[in-house]
Amino acid sequence: MKARTTAAALLAVAALSLTACSGSGPAGHSAGPKTLPRKTPAAPTGLTAKQAAAMLAEATGVTTLGNPTDNTTSCSGKAAGKEASPSDCLQLITTDTVSIYEYSSPGIAAHRVEFMATEDWRRVGRFALAWNAREQRLVDDSHRADLVKAFQKVDAVYDLDVASARKS
């Protein structure tokens, strides 16, 4: 199992490296702007909610967590075409088993989990796991605890608290 997790981590790092090295314009033209861009909060690098869902499925011995769907527009003003908020999620993957919210920092994730205290939300690094949907409410407490433990093991491979620039 550790070999598969390590292999998955190496593949993710390689994919991110290839993305970072791709060019974006004709030869001889400067890719940088002539003026400094407006400051925006840096998004984390590394693991995304989509990748986390796949790794969490593998770590718990299943092919998929069931119907992974990108619902980022429901937790991000920017993704929904509205004004962005610092507390927006970066990505939301909803499955039949759990919803995985990706935030830009552990502090924002902790605040969101605290805000949602009336429902079952649990934080791991800069991610929040939630069981809000009808199918997700059928997941028993011991399986929820297993999912959190498995996600914490992913945290051992990826530093889920890291917050440095990532292009979305």
pLDDT of residue 36: 36
Mean pLDDT of 2-26: 40
pLDDT of residue 158: 65
Phi, psi dihedral angles at 50 (to 5 degrees):
-65, -45
Determine the Cα–Cα distance for residues 129 and 148; give it in Å rounded to an integer: 8
Strand order in the sheet with 69-70: 69-70, 91-94, 99-102, 127-130, 121-124
**151 and 129 in contact (C-beta within 8 Å)?**
yes
54-67 pLDDT per residue, tens: 999 998 889 899 99
Question: Over the chain, what is the mean pLDDT?
Answer: 75
Q: Which residues of 51-87 are buried (b: 16+ CB within 10 A; e: fewer)?
A: bbbbbbbbbeeeeebbebeebbeebbeebeeeeeeeb
Q: Which residues contact 14 (CB under 8 A, 6 or more apart)?
A: none
pLDDT of residue 146: 94
**20 and 165 in contact (C-beta within 8 Å)?**
no
The proportion of the chain whose per-residue pLDDT surpasses 70, expressed as a percent, equals: 65
Determine the Cα–Cα distance for residues 67 and 138; give it in Å rounded to an integer: 15
> 32-36, 66-70, 79-83, 100-104 — which is least confidently predicted?
32-36
pLDDT of residue 160: 54
pLDDT of residue 19: 35
- Report whether pLDDT(92) > 80: yes
pLDDT of residue 111: 94
- pLDDT confidence tier of residue 10, bands split at 50, 70 and 90: very low
**94 and 71 in contact (C-beta within 8 Å)?**
yes
DSSP structural state of residue 63: S
> 118-122, 149-153, 157-161 — which is least confidently predicted?
157-161
Tell me the angle at which helices 49-59 and 2-21 cross, rounded to the nearest 10 degrees: 160
25-57 pLDDT per residue, tens: 444 444 444 433 333 344 445 789 999 999 999
